Amino acid sequence: MNRYPIWKYAILVIALLLGTVYTLPNFFGEAPAVQVSSGKATVKVDNTTLQRVEEALKTAGLSPQTLALDGASIRARFDTTDNQIKAKDAIEKALIPDASNPSFVVALNLVTRSPAWLTSLGAAPMYLGLDLRGGVHFMLQVDMQAALTQRVEALVGDLRTTFREKDLRHGGMSRNGQTIEMRLRDAKQLQAAQDLITAQFADLQTSSVADGNELRLTATIKPEAARLVQAQALKQNITTLHNRINELGVAEPVIQQQGLDRIVVQLPGVQDTAKAKDILGRTATLEVRMVDESTEARAAEQGGIVPSVPSDTSSAMAVR
């Protein structure tokens, strides 16, 4: 005799069917593939790029099992690793005429063999870590000294601008390592400079010494401000690594901080370790410089004598 209502059995059967369907991708395995993504912010991967890839593969006599535009990248799936490597060479030859200045990233990858109807349902295989799937493990170190040095360079530019706006004269301002040094003529100028730095530059601490007939004021970054710069450098590099790993199309990468200045990166399933190392190891530096467009500066430029212009450098965190 049936002790339970029919609807409970129906729910049980539906749950088993759904569980079976969403488990199927694990049985299809993975296939070698080539992924094409943008190597520059100004370059987009679109249908035009897809046509160029298709023509390059056709010229090389290669027929991918699937070739599609997936988000911001193109993925071509092949039956063997030999065809995968041949396809990578053909695509690089077509899309990257100058290897020293690549506009695209062409990397080897592994993609699921699941049929399209199963993928359209959102069914994906279980992602395995390095122990079960293999891959690459990187330990990166953030150049904290470079981050502090560039912060000091930015402060030098800000100090020069502020001193100029306040009409506070000095005998010269320069950076010596991570220290800012400025020369002042008398105690009145020294006190005015110290008061200005204290009021508008909370990250700096000052000290003064006599240097002959002049006074020398030294400004350094406070320890708590230096720790904040280092923390921001580490956070920015982790964000940058996430963006770069997207070029490789790695599912569920591990990116985490280790210690004060190191980042661990684990990329399960990556075949092209050299390409991964090249992408992750690129140093990203952005420099923003002030330009003097006054009449005096233009006249000096035409005369062949260009005065020095203070620079303001930001977001330059180097990964090594």
| Domains 6-126 and 225-313 alike in fold | yes
Report the candidate in 170, 165, 195 with the shortest Cα–Cα distance to residue 181: 170
Question: Cα 266 to chain center, whole Å?
Answer: 16
CATH class held by domain 151-222: alpha beta
pLDDT of residue 78: 92
Task: Count Cβ atoms below 10 Å from residue 63 Cβ, excluding itself.
Answer: 13
Residues of the chain with pLDDT under 70: 1-2, 247-249, 251, 271-272, 281-320
Q: What pLDDT shows up at residue 309?
A: 44
Q: Which CATH number fits domain 225-313: 3.10.105.10, 3.30.70.3400, 3.40.50.1820, 3.30.70.1450?
A: 3.30.70.3400
Condensed to tens digits (0 to 9), the pLDDT of residues 100-135 reads 888 888 888 888 888 888 888 888 888 777 777 777
- Give the pLDDT score at 287: 46
Find residue 141's DSSP bridge partners.
262
Q: List the beta strands (DSSP E) in the chain.
A: 30-38, 66-70, 73-77, 104-112, 135-141, 173-176, 179-184, 204-211, 214-221, 254-258, 262-268, 287-289, 311-313
- The answer to whether the pTM exceeds 0.95 is no
pLDDT for position 166: 87
Q: What is the pLDDT of residue 277?
A: 75
Phi, psi of 29 (to 5 degrees): 80, -165
Are the beta carbons of 117 and 257 closer than 8 angstroms? Answer: no
Sketch the domain layout of the chain as residue ranges: 6-126, 151-222, 225-313
**Per residue in 218-274, pLDDT tens?**
999 999 999 999 998 888 888 888 877 776 667 678 888 888 888 888 888 776 677
> How would CATH label the architecture of 6-126?
2-Layer Sandwich (3.30)
Query: In this predicted structure, what is the pLDDT of residue 242?
Result: 83
Predicted confidence at residue 300, as pLDDT, reads 61
Q: Can you give the pLDDT at residue 320?
A: 37
Q: How far apart are CA 217 and CA 215, in angstroms?
A: 7
Cβ atoms of residues 106 and 85 within 8 Å? no
Closest CA to 209 of 242, 176, 187: 187
